[in-house]
Structure 1
Amino acid sequence: MQVNPYLFYDGNCEAAFKYYEKVLGARIEALMTWKDAPAGTPLPPGQEAKVMHAKLSIDGEVLMGGDAPPGHFHTPQGFAVSLLVETPADAERRFKALSEGGTVTMPFGATFFSKGFGMCTDQFGIPWMVNCPLED
């Protein structure tokens, strides 16, 4: 079994996944818009160019998402996408990239449990935690 986060965006899923691809070294494995759906698939009005489903691979881990149908988007709350990064320098670089144009909730820095940890909400409204854990 595999558990993967599925994120809903407010019409900016494609831009978000392209940004993650660029700054996280991720790879978009799938990106299907509503206009790509098979004939006969019910199409929400005005959603033709919006993302029905996308799949992103980040260092072998999978993140999926799509644009919420009209009237169904809710601001994300009660979770964060967590990145565990091996070196403090790489963790800080990724944190800075994710927080660019967004909001920093907890600045990146050393903590009692981590060589470096920070929390932010990215420019697309997705909450993130970036952590470089202490060695075992």
Structure 2
Amino acid sequence: MAKIDPYLNFLGNTEEAFNFYKSVFGGEFVFLQRFKDTPHGDSMSPEDKERIMHVALPIGGNLLMGTDALESAGQKLNFGDNISVAITPDSMEEAHKLFNGLGEGGNVQMPLEKMFWGAWFGMLVDKFGVQWMVNYDDSQK
């Protein structure tokens, strides 16, 4: 079965965003590469050289991955409305911890509450504009 690893694009603040996610989820980056460490890094501006080419943070059995989109290379983003990251925590305690952590400085769209399908579910947009869904089904435990 295929697994899904969300990949997030930012306009220059990938490092800040991923340090925030690391503070919420814990763990260590399994990969972090800057554009200066790529074959074309020498030809980039000093600012772009320091941006993140690729970063990966393990969360459970998945990876949260990201990069800085480079406006200097013509990359554009319609950020925040084209992806949601769905999280399935292992406990109610973890559901609250993740929901509250990700919601810090963000905007709760739907509070974490019991839903008609039997799970605890909530939606929010974090302070970086990323949409998150937390779904904990305590009937499966």
User: Shorter-chain TM-score: which interval?
Assistant: 0.7 to 0.9
* 1:28 corresponds to: 29
* 1:54 corresponds to: 55
Confirm or deny: 8 A CA contact 2:41 2:49 kept in the other structure.
no
Quote the Cα distance in structure 2 between the aligned partners of 1:125 and 1:26: 22
Q: How does 1:33-48 map to 2 (within 5 A)?
A: 33-38=34-39, 42-43=43-44, 46-48=47-49
Q: What is the RMSD computed on CA atoms of the aligned residues?
A: 2.1
Considering fraction of residues, name the structure with more helix: 2
Q: What residue identity is the alignment partner of 2:83?
A: F
Identity of matched residues, %: 35
Aligned partner (choices 100, 103, 115) of residue 99 of structure 1 = 103
Structure 1 gap segments, 5+ residues each: none
SS of aligned partner of 1:47: helix
Aligned partner (choices 128, 132, 139) of residue 135 of structure 1 = 139
What per-residue deviation string (whole Å, max 9, x for no partner) do you get for residues 90-111 of structure 1?
1011100001111111111122
Considering fraction of residues, name the structure with more strand: 1
TM-score w.r.t. length of structure 1: 0.87
* 1:123 corresponds to: 127
CA displacement at 1:7 relative to structure 2:
0.8
Structure 2 CA distance for partners of 1:35 and 1:45, relative to 1, 3 Å: same
TM-score w.r.t. length of structure 2: 0.84
Q: What residue identity is the alignment partner of 2:10?
A: Y
Structure 2 gap segments, 5+ residues each: none
Quote the Cα distance in structure 2 between the aligned partners of 1:5 and 1:41: 29
> How many equivalent pairs are there?
136
